Structure 1
């Protein structure tokens, strides 16, 4: 999928919502525990009711790997379900991989050839050979961690380097030369919304994956104000606020309601800031 194809989906749905499938087996409605594959059954129900309002899904691998082999099976089934029923959706494996070249190539093969996701989140700390193998696949993306929203991010990301750049700025400047706007996104936390303005000066045309809206307290309007470009350029992720809107029998109805509310706000922001 190219950047333009993502933008076409954004225009069609008037949404730049990414639903995070951070599916904790201890938080899903209890009746799913009677199913053979509780995580998949919950995911498929959430996907069915939120698909009209979203352009992307982001399964976080930690919530699947925690279940061992069965969890990995749930992840693969979830991806297959989206592919079969909602092929227009952009699928991000939130795996935060980052290793030397040969190992990185195996990760790319696993996620792109075996699992058929569109993108993988990547930690660039070890340099270009941790990221470039993911760019060997046409239509696939590397989503590079840049400025994250966790409290301890400042311990490294905000350090000032010789020459005046912050670490996250150097990461963006350097890694932007490895790929293109059609295969490289950046993770920027919603709780750092005002800093998006400076990031846009570095990468005006790249897509940004922005987690932290919803349960983490990030402001959607602030993210759009500082981070949106003329082609939107944003995928804003919400996980817990949508998928755990209710733990009762009405979980799907409540999830759909929350996703619809976010989409409605996004439609207004797209109209105001992008004239869409």
Structure 2
């Protein structure tokens, strides 16, 4: 199954939540630290509790690379917990000169077997082409992110009066020949989302920033529903995986994602 087909399948089931596995040893329940592999056990519990309700899982490479070789082993093992029909995203934000990107793409798509990756476009199309060559995968290209620093570059105005992030959306649409392109658009930018959603064409959309960063899951869904559009997922990390420091963290994660899915059903049904 192609990556975008997995996304559409879950959207048709009115599932739009991407569970972010930003698994930090300093934030997981303390009792897990006595386990042989505490992060892996934490991930296993989260996936088991949420896989019936999740549209995707996003693994943030930073939290695993910091653990060295062990971290890469945890990524491999965590992916084994995730059902084959659920989209897996490597949040690695790659983008480099051609031969380097070829190795990054091979690592993420062939070694690890992820369905999708996050990329930054600022070195141009040739830096992304090795990823785009994987026709069955999805490439989420940073357009307008949810952090305050997005104003430094992404919201710079070009000579034609458009914003840089709008130029990225336009180019990504041109590159979407195999329907394997998407964009990252921060959920904190609700006004910009309303203004630009018609320019997304058939791009898949990954929206971070809900919860701790201030974005509203319900508001984002209403924007997409108002345009009769799916093909998107909303990433939530801390708002799902860190709801408890006790043994009930998995149960609370399950309840929260079920609550979010109920919101989606009310909006889209």
So what's the TM-score if we normalise by structure 2?
Answer: 0.95
Structure-1 separation of matches of 2:218 and 2:259: 13
Asked whether the equivalents of residues 93 and 121 of structure 1 are also in contact (C-alpha less than 8 Å), the reply is yes
SS at 1:120's partner residue? strand
Match of 1:122 among 98, 119, 122: 119
Task: Kindly tell me the number of residue pairs found equivalent between the two proteins.
Answer: 267
Change beyond 3 A, Cα 1:16–1:181: farther
- TM superposition shift of 1:231: 4.3
Scaled by the length of structure 1, what TM-score is found? Answer: 0.93
2:172 aligned residue: 175
Deviations 1:124-169 (A, max 9, x none): 0000012111122231111100000101110111110011110101
For 1:256 and 1:8, how far apart are their aligned partners in 2? 20
Name the counterpart of 2:100.
103
* Cα displacement string for residues 167-191 of structure 1 (whole angstroms, at most 9, x for unaligned residues): 1011111122122472111001110
The 2-side partners of 1:227 and 1:168 are apart by 19
Correspondence 1:205 to 2:206: no
2:235 is the alignment partner of 1:237: yes
Counterpart contact for 1:96–1:122, Cα < 8 Å: yes
Residue aligning to 2:59: 59
Do 1:64 and 1:72's aligned partners in 2 also have CA atoms closer than 8 Å? yes
Let me know the Cα RMSD of the aligned residues.
1.4
Q: Structure 1 unaligned segments of length 5 or more: list them.
A: 272-276
Does the Cα contact within 8 Å between 1:224 and 1:269 map onto a contact in 2? yes
* Alpha-carbon distance between aligned partners in 2 of 1:44 and 1:2, rounded to the nearest angstrom: 22
Alignment of 1:65-144 (within 5 A): 65-82=65-82, 86-144=83-141
* CA displacement, residues 179-225 of structure 1 (integer Å, 9 cap, x when unaligned): 24721110011100121123222223221100111222211222123
